[in-house]
């Protein structure tokens, strides 16, 4: 009963992050609630309501009492109010105080319960001070016209640089065992690279064992067993699901962590090889297997995954790729890390914009990784798997931190917690009832 209550409390405690995940996005806006007070204090100042401006500034300071920008703003508002009223009588908003007090009490309960029930708990950073709206409209253009001694938004000193999308490649592969195979020119395209030995044979086997223990039919695709073809079974699992199963003792936690570690290795390689000058974030990570269904392979003429682009809607007839919803327009780079070769069919192919003319074909094998930019310059698909099971780790990346994968953020927190506890291989079977 206590375990159930703590899971409910942990879920409730995480609501501030869930509510900060806007519709259509898969990661939360950091510092979501405090940012409202930051914008409000400036807005009230602009309309001359210095009382409410000070009230909102003080509300923001409940979350970040050492924020220099807002402290300066609060002092400025107090100076404007001198002689008309006592600034000390203006208090932070009651709802902000109530929420913060409740949040702290929830955190205290979770930490006490974790100690009493014998499981680890690490409080996430819900009020990241440097969170901001990461787009070109995050700060009103007129803010630069304010006098230097006037108020300014706290986030005005922390602009996000726009990524330089000058296309580059050929950067270091970072790991001595990774073998370069083909570049863009050799693959007849743009922003493409083929690598071998990204993971070892033993790691492939271990990942395959983990896959058998954690995959659910259609996971990640709203329960559809086969989203692309009726002739194959489609199964997948996310990093967080793997860690959850490891924590519950259903699979070795060391093996679940391998999934996390090799996906991070792939991210670092992609970021380095394409010489990106800004951080590459995970957008979605999926361990996926496609299995040929017996009795359904004769006279088959479809693909395992139809020709498409990863961040735009491919329109072969118009020779265009429309970068608009429902496409995942925020994806910038993609990668597929293969785990096995003991199947028939399943070649990865690049095509022209007509979705017919094949420009490159890649046969999967253990440790092989194909990576490429996610736009219309790289239409691709997968030929039919006609016998056996084809498994790979599919990775999509973004340069926009707003579209970071929420499950990845949560997985990072789990890994940080495990590292803090210094868990070793002999300590992996802990608290099998615990839920992440």
- Look up 257 and say whether it is catalytic: no
How far from 68 is each of 129, 151, 210, 227, CA to CA, in Å? 11, 11, 48, 51
Q: DSSP secondary-structure letter at 263?
A: H
H or E segment and range at residue 361: strand 358-362
Residue 21 · residue 114 · CB < 8 Å:
no
Nearest CA to 264 out of 247, 281, 242, 277 is that of: 281
How many CB atoms sit inside 10 A of residue 21's CB? Answer: 15
Sign of the CA dihedral 357, 362, 363, 364? negative
Point out which residues pair with 195 in neighbouring strands.
180, 369
- Among the listed residues 267, 390, 404, 408, the single catalytic one is 390
Q: DSSP secondary-structure letter at 191?
A: S
What is the per-residue DSSP string for 88-121? GG----HHHHHHHHHHHHHHHHHHHHHHHHT---
Lay out the sheet containing 348-351: strands in order across. 305-308, 380-382, 348-351, 358-362
HSE toward the beta carbon, residue 433, CA cutoff 13 A: 11
The catalytic site residues sit at 390
């Amino acid at each position: 009963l206590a375990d159930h209550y703590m899971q409910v409390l942990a879920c409730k405690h995480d609501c501030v992050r869930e509510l900060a995940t806007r519709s259509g996005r898969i990661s939360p806006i950091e510092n979501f609630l405090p940012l409202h007070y930051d914008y409000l204090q400036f807005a009230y100042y602009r309309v001359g309501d210095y009382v409410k401006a000070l009230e909102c500034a003080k509300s923001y300071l409940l979350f970040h009492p050492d924020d220099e920008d807002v402290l300066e703003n609060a002092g400025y508002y107090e100076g404007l109010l001198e002689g008309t009223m006592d600034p000390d009588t203006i208090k932070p908003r009651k709802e902000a105080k109530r929420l913060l007090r409740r949040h702290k009490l929830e955190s205290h309960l979770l930490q006490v319960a974790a100690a009493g029930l014998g499981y680890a708990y690490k409080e996430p950073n819900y009020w990241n001070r440097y969170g901001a709206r990461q787009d070109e409209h995050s700060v009103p253009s007129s803010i630069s016209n304010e006098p230097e001694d006037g108020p300014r938004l706290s986030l005005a000193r922390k602009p996000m640089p726009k990524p330089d999308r000058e296309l580059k490649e050929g950067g270091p592969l970072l790991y001595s065992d990774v073998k370069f195979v083909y570049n863009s020119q050799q693959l007849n395209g743009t922003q493409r690279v083929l690598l071998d030995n990204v993971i070892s044979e033993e790691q492939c086997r271990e990942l395959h064992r983990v896959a058998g223990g954690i995959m659910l039919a259609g996971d990640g695709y709203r329960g559809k067993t086969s989203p692309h073809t009726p002739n194959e079974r489609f199964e997948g699992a996310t990093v967080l699901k793997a860690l959850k199963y490891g924590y519950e003792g259903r699979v070795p936690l060391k093996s679940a962590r391998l999934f996390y570690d090799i996906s991070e290795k792939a991210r670092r390689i992609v970021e380095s090889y394409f010489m990106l000058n800004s951080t590459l974030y995970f957008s979605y990570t999926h361990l996926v297997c496609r299995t040929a269904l017996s009795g359904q392979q004769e006279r088959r003429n479809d693909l395992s995954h139809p020709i498409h682009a990863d961040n735009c809607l491919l329109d072969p007839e118009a020779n265009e790729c429309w970068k608009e919803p429902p496409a995942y327009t925020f994806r910038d780079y993609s990668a597929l890390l293969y785990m096995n070769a003991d199947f028939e069919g399943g070649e990865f192919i690049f095509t022209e914009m007509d979705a017919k003319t094949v420009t490159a074909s890649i046969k999967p094998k253990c440790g092989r990784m194909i990576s490429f930019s996610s736009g219309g310059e790289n239409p691709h698909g997968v030929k039919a798997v006609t016998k056996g099971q084809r498994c790979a780790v599919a990775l999509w990346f973004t340069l926009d931190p707003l579209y970071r994968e929420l499950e990845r953020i949560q997985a990072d927190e789990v890994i940080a917690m495990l590292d803090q506890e210094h868990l070793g291989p002999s300590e992996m079977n802990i608290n099998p009832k615990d839920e992440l």
